[in-house]
Amino acid sequence: MTDLTLREAQQKTDEWIKTVGVRYFNELTNLGILMEEVGELSRLIVRKYGEQSFKESDKNRDLADEMADVLWVLICLANQTGVDLNDAFIKNMEKKNARDLLRHKENDKLK
């Protein structure tokens, strides 16, 4: 597979759901799954970069795969709710650039 835009990732996810996955889980189920996946990602980051030691069951987990799991469920939710993540990301960056143009540069905590 080559590079994908967010829009293409949404299309590929939708195709997979409709051909292999049968149908989307409902939105509330997917929200719960998203929280589970974020928890798994959090646990791995806490162990890899934080002070907690690894449990045997965490040692073979892959950070990129955990992030992809989070992205997958987020894409499912976007598809279900009619959100174009490509457009949403562009608009969100525009908002951040307008709102935070000097905010972080002027934050003494970040210097």
In a domain, 72, yes or no: yes
Which stretches of the chain drop beneath a pLDDT of 50? none
Q: What is the pLDDT of residue 77?
A: 98
Q: What is the pLDDT of residue 71?
A: 98
Q: In sequence order, what are the residues at sequence separation of 6 or more whose Cβ sits closer than 8 angstroms to the Cβ of residue 38?
A: 70
In a domain, 78, yes or no: yes
Q: What is the pLDDT of residue 1?
A: 66
> What total number of domains does the chain contain?
1
Q: What is the pLDDT of residue 55?
A: 85
Using a 10 angstrom Cβ sphere, with 0-12 exposed, 13-18 middle and 19 or more buried, the burial of residue 75 is buried
In a domain, 106, yes or no: no
Residue 21, number of CB atoms within 10 A of its CB: 13
Domain CATH number, residue 68: 1.10.287.1080
pTM: 0.88
In a domain, 103, yes or no: no
Domain limits for position 24: 6-84
In a domain, 37, yes or no: yes
State how far the Cα of 5 lies from the Cα of 90, in Å rounded to an integer.
12
